[in-house]
Amino acid sequence: MNRDKLLKKAKRENLWKDEREKLINIRASSIAGTYSMILLIVLIIYNWCTGAPKDSLIGILYIHMGVYNFFNISKEQKILRIASIVMVIAGFIYFIDPLVRRISL
């Protein structure tokens, strides 16, 4: 009887973990995709209005990868989470740097 209870409990926990991983992957993809599209639209409008070069696309790519990896990495892997945060910050710096240079000229 104990064995059957343990098997049922383990099956329920594994089912929850699988569902949790699916939801995390969906959420990470959704958030990263949404923010990437918003930044891309802002960049396209800015470049269209000013005729600026399209060098901020790398920043958008870094932000997308950083946000996606942040939500996709488990909480135990703190170094990788920190690296994801640094990647997002680097993406924002790379994205904003051409704007700041144009304003200061």
**Domain boundaries along the sequence of the chain:** 2-104
pLDDT at 10: 67
- How many CB atoms sit inside 10 A of residue 42's CB? 13
pLDDT at 86: 92
Q: Which amino acid is at 69?
A: N
pTM of the model: 0.53
- How many CB atoms sit inside 10 A of residue 11's CB? 10
Residues in the chain, pLDDT under 50: none
Q: What stretches of 54-77 show up as alpha helix (H) in DSSP?
A: 57-72
